[in-house]
Structure 1
Amino acid sequence: MIRWFPTTSRRRGTRHGRRSYALTNWITLVWVTLQNHLGERAYPVRPRIWHQRNYQQLRKEQRPARAQGRSLLTFAIAVLAAAVVSVNWHTISAALPFTPDTTFAPVLTAVLAFVVVAFAVSSLDSWGPWRDQRRYRRLTGATEITPAQQSLLALDAESDFRSGLWNSSLEFSPAWSKLPESLRKKYADGAKGYPIISLPMNDLRDLQADLDKRTRIASERDLELYVADGMAQHSMSARFQAILNGPDAERMLTRIAGLTGLSEWDLRALAEPQAGRPPLLLWAGDVQRLIAIVRTAFVAGQVSEQTAWTLIERLGNVAFALYADAADYWRGVRIATAFASDEVAALQAFDETMKELRDSGWPATRAAFPTLPVDTLPGQIRTPEVLLPREEAN
């Protein structure tokens, strides 16, 4: 999105001030990057022919009166263009490099003008999603996230890319909490629809009920406890380690090895310290899952923006301290996906999504992957034996 701001100088009267005053009409360009259109992966965004058709259909469904008015306006403009051509036909024909047929040419030219103008006005709707995203950013006062924040959100890029969601903002889709209070009141937080045609927003109460049903999160404190438990006894890493130390270890390793193409020795190595680093276990999968939960809670209005970023940073720091680079991290997420899903289809979808993500122009693919010292890790990650039941730990 491009915004233009006129700038003025405060220093006037002096010689320097007169020079500055002479430059008061210069224009400063401020670039604010739009994200992908929801449901799409293309980036950077640009108008496409199907946007016009889809946008007009959405307007017809959500704002039937406005859609009818828009159609009448398009028709009126096209008729006016045809009338102007008809009235000024003699002037137009005189300017042509050939002599047109005086019987049919005026009519055909007027019809052509009608069709061209109608198509041109209608094609403006191909910019509809672009305009709508600009409007959302304007209403929410959105600013660019920092490179550090993009590095954190990039840890959840696979799930966002798979569903065509946003990955360069805390909210992966429009959030009621970001909109002005007047709009929230007008639309009753989704109970009476939503304000922007191509940016659907669910009823906030439905979002909160669904989040509570799936995770038992109904408040900010619930979320904090959920994240803490999710990086401890309730983590995939804890379950993986418990099975690895139990009678079903061989069966689990054989299954995951078959799904991922890794050897059983590679999988056993996940529970062993490597090159001075704690066991990797499945912490990458835990980090990605919990970042997604935090962002979901934010969209559902159950956590403040500041607390959400704090929790995501805490989770991201675990990944940055454990894994050497982004490729190492996503390798860990892939293994965790195999463990959690136990399905070939899930691994195939993951691999396909990651391949397309790497080939895309998404900012997440260019985000830095910082490294942090191991001593910044929580105790249960540095010494994961504490996650085992007492008899297994001994």
Structure 2
Amino acid sequence: MILYGQQSINQQDIDSVVAVLTSDYLTQGPQVPAFEAALSAFTGVQYTLAVNSATSALHIACLALGVGVGDRVWTSPITFVASANAALYCGAEIDFVDIDAITGNMCPTQLAIKLAEAAKQDKLPKVIIPVHLCGHSCDMQAIGKLASQYGIKVIEDASHAIGGYYQSEPVGNCRYSDICIFSFHPVKIITTAEGGAALTNSSELAAAMARLRSHGITKLEAELQRQDQGDWYYEQHDLGYNYRMTELQAALGLSQMTRLQSFVCRRNELATHYTQLLTRLPLTLIQPLAESISSYHLFVVRLPKAEQRRRIFDEMRALNVQVHVHYIPVHLQPYYQNLGFTRGQFPQAETFYNDILTLPLHPGLSQKELAYVVDCLEKVI
């Protein structure tokens, strides 16, 4: 089976993890801050907080921005459910902004229309979470300008996009956002097995997220204010969570960072090769913005006839090509339907979902395998 996504693990990665296993620390040792420093150095952001998943990062990002009961959070309907769930964890209301049909990302025009209507009704969101689908950056300048105009905070869900660039700057630098989120799941650009990170240029937000990822506990204030206490002393200031990343995960991530640029380069080479070979087929390709370099976590195409998707999907799988579909619109999930969302609310997202297909793309994919994928797709279409 040619997999749609797959981690790339080499001997350096293995040696890095084994070294931790023979060290004095399995959690809360030197590897986590070293990994955080590598992420900050690559993106140019001031603060990075490594956690056990991107979902955890989204959760503490919302909490750090003060999201709670009575607040509203907007995101894209074309994303994994975690982007929306994080707001619900905080007791907030969730809503969605329809997508741009070319990029699959949150549409700035639709966002502007929805914000203007919300302002009239005094129902503006507290936070907007644009999602960089496939590793293609959203139009963050346009989204950031609208957010600033209305006094709204922005969390970039860049779970797909580490290693990508927007306006010649690395995704994750938070130029147009308050916090940016990365994922290190095995099929993502780099992996820590499971893991995520929250990046920000705000010292206040960084401090809040640092507390929230570790039970809301800090020793800093205790050291400043309780000098009469011993090293055992700590204080809980927030209702936090155990979202810490382990030393094993961080060591793997730190090793993977040395190959991040080569991974992204290879993914772009494969995407270019796909684009060339697919010109002979009646497909529409999901495109990154002109002023960006995608990390190409996914390679998504739109089929000519939506009603043929299931047959094509099954026949490709039978030919040992693990095609996939990313994503079912969140508002169509049963849980969200029970919250009052209905079919037809976000027509671009629904049409997009009906005819998309994800083709295999990962650094280990060979040119021969890619050609086989295209040949199979041509055959079944």
Structure with a larger share of its residues in helix: 1
Using CA pairs under 8 Å that are at least 6 residues apart, name the structure with larger relative contact order, 1 or 2.
Answer: 2
User: Given the two structures, how large is their TM-score scaled by the length of structure 2?
Assistant: 0.25
**Rg comparison, structure with higher value:** 1
